[in-house]
Amino acid sequence: MSATMTASTALLALIGAATLSAPSLHASFSNTAGLPYLSARLALELVLIALLFASIVSSAMAVRFYNHVGFICGMPVGSDARQHWTTAGTRYVRRAGILYSWGLRHLIFVAPILASIVHPLAGPPAAIIIIVVMYGFDHRGVDEPPLP
């Protein structure tokens, strides 16, 4: 469910970003010289669109794998079909979790790009803050015993 919400959020943000950046993209790619003019802002807009697209794809694929796992878990316990599909279900849960986390990370990586678009000097500090915070989340509790 949350992967579906992430995919929807990323899609709406992508539509908004494409709508707002379309005039500058059109102007950059349709100049009279025939070659696109690549400015820093245009590069940031393209990276923003790529991050949002990656978030959509990752989240949608997570939903796909979670859906497959739902079918496997819905099989009768102890049946031959469920025993046959249990290893695949285990792999699918892991893949879905990894894809879901990448979808969320792509959305988080949007923040420094947006900060850079607003003011070029705001991007690097925002990126450093996000890296430190994400590192803290990923490594906090590694030494703690697992929950019962």
Q: Whole-model pTM above 0.75? A: no
Q: How far apart are CA 37 and CA 27, in angstroms?
A: 9
As a three-state string, the secondary structure of 62-109 is: HHHHHHHHHHHHCCCCCCHHHHHHHHHHHHHHHHHHHHHHHHHHHHHH
pLDDT digits (tens, 9 = 90+) for 85-115: 989 999 999 999 999 889 888 888 888 998 8
pLDDT at 46: 84
Q: What is the DSSP string of 119-145?
A: -GGGHHHHHHHHHHHHHHHHHTTTTSP
Choice between 17 and 63, residue whose per-residue pLDDT is larger:
63
Asked if 27 and 124 count as a contact pair (C-beta separation under 8 A), the reply is no
pLDDT digits (tens, 9 = 90+) for 17-50: 777 776 766 666 666 566 666 778 788 888 888 8
Q: How many beta carbons lie within 10 A of that of residue 34, not counting itself?
A: 7
pLDDT at 35: 61
